[in-house]
Amino acid sequence: MRKILVTGANGFVGTALYHALIGRGFAARRAVRRAEAVVTPGADVVVGEIGPTTDWRQALQDVDAVIHLAARAHVMRDAAVDPLADYRRVNVLGTRGLARAAADAGVRRMIFLSSIKVNGEKTASKPYSEQDPPRPQDAYGVSKWEAEQMLRAIAADSHMEAVVLRPPLLYGPGVKGNFLGLMRVIDRGLPLPLASIHNRRSLLYIGSLIDAIMLCLNNPMAAGKTYLLADSEGVSTPDLIRGIASALRKPARLLPFPPALLKFAGALAGKTESVSRLLGSLQIDASSIRRELNWQPCADMARGLAETARWYHQHAH
């Protein structure tokens, strides 16, 4: 194999993936947006902002596979005038430009990190699977679904193979966003009125995601496939808090509170989406990638949370 190009290499997933690739003997190249993000001159390539006019030619030189992680990330309460247009510029048109350039450059396979938000926001009677029709509910999910379709169309018209991965909420060393915020709340010993929630949510440890990406790089079975990913076990919101608290060696200060009142309070505070995530279920059936590629999560949730807590105490405390 020649080089592997990683976009979004400075992010949570990209940083861990790049080090894993190098550690396993792959020749990896990082596409970065700004010159100050260059870590290895000569190996890293500055591509600027990602969008429909990004020039990928230098980054794709001698590249055999592309792992496309870069995206306009999902944010709560997006303040953009037209959020969907902003997501489309990066996530759809940026992906289209990269896929076309990669196909023209003779890239053999492109792995696209999508999101379970393509399937929807919550599950009721059964977990999401690859057979369920996509029902994205927000601009980010719509953009990821449109990007998947764009990539597949380009792959179908070229010799490049496409692989799509849809993970749920990720955690692990280097985690950011809401998960890191929750860890800080628990670490400070603040009480959380979430003991009365009875839901089930799938999460994914970052090491398990990286193993899935590695499998998809060369396995012929992965060509043209979409795979949903998740840890072996789902977890309720209160049990997740207890698990994080145990990993941090802190007490879980959970208080009973009616979920209906939590919804009402969330609406008043303008945090309906955040509260819906805490209350609702989102379960994933990851049996397809287990069966077809023999993928298994590399850690159970307890170990994954322990690794995350170890990193937290060293770097984010």
Residues linked to residue 284 through DSSP beta bridges, in sequence order: 128
Position 101 in a domain: yes
Whole-number Å distance between alpha carbons of 284 and 152? 23
Token couple for 294: 């023999």
Domain that includes residue 115, residue range: 3-166
pLDDT on residue 79: 62
The catalytic position among 140, 205, 227, 312 is 140
N-term to C-term CA, the chain:
40
Q: How many domains does the chain have?
A: 1
pLDDT on residue 62: 93
pLDDT on residue 125: 87
267: DSSP letter:
H
Nearest to 141 by CA among 92, 175, 180: 92
Position 272 in a domain: no
The pTM for the full model equals 0.94
Nearest to 180 by CA among 193, 169, 167: 169
Is 140 one of the catalytic residues? Answer: yes
pLDDT beneath 50: ranges in the chain: none
CATH code of the domain containing 85 = 3.40.50.720
Position 22 in a domain: yes
pLDDT on residue 145: 97
Position 261 in a domain: no
pLDDT on residue 43: 72
pLDDT on residue 82: 81
Position 248 in a domain: no
Position 141 in a domain: yes
Largest Cα–Cα distance of the chain, in whole Å?
58
pLDDT on residue 76: 54
